Structure 1
């Protein structure tokens, strides 16, 4: 029997409600999050844009590249830069996160029920 190495990234749907807050302001609220687990990083929850207050966010100048996900675009609040990111055109294996946003856990409060 061949050994199968653990994948670098795993994705699965969450059955929990996920809320993102900045202070007491709710920025996102969903029951349709995906959890992405990547070796060496804490789990990230990717939320559909339809459940994020996109009108409160602006696109920042920050862009990063991940060889395992693709190029990301970052989003900011007026007083809080780069609080979220999105892979609008991820690599083929990561299409499930296309257009979803993940939030920086050091800059927001994440609640799960």
Structure 2
């Protein structure tokens, strides 16, 4: 069944908006300074022009002991409501550095239980296979 034939409540349909999610073939490491926050061989790449592509890393590959959840949230009409985490050791620079769509719209289930990081708050190293 076409997921867009019966969109999830709240999902905004826009034929000009193309969002793709594909597996990344390689290793992705996220660091705050010298501290590794995440390391994965199972990351996904979400492309949503005009924004830069973002790596979404499975929760199992993220060290949540280095993060603290925040009250900050945002809403995307295509993905749903995002929750945020700060990197404890990074102080103000790490505030709301990671986001995730814990209950994304049905059209974006590929990113459920995955987190993404702001590239201006962490170092993201991607090494293709």
User: TM exceeds 0.5?
Assistant: yes
Residue ranges of structure 1 left out of the alignment (5+ in a row): none
Deviation of the 1:7 alpha carbon: 5.2
Higher RCO structure (Cα 8 Å, ≥6 apart): 2
Aligned to 2:112: 98
Aligned to 1:59: 69
User: Which stretches of structure 1, 4 residues or more, deviate above 4 A after TM superposition?
Assistant: none
Q: Deviations over 1:53-83 (max 9, x none)?
A: 0111111111000001000000002212100
Aligned alpha-carbon RMSD (Å): 1.2
Q: How many residues align?
A: 109
| Aligned residue among 78, 82, 85 for 2:96 | 82
TM-score of the aligned structures, taking structure 2 as reference length: 0.81
TM-score of the aligned structures, taking structure 1 as reference length: 0.92
Residue ranges of structure 2 left out of the alignment (5+ in a row): 1-14
- Structure (1/2) with the larger helix percentage: 2
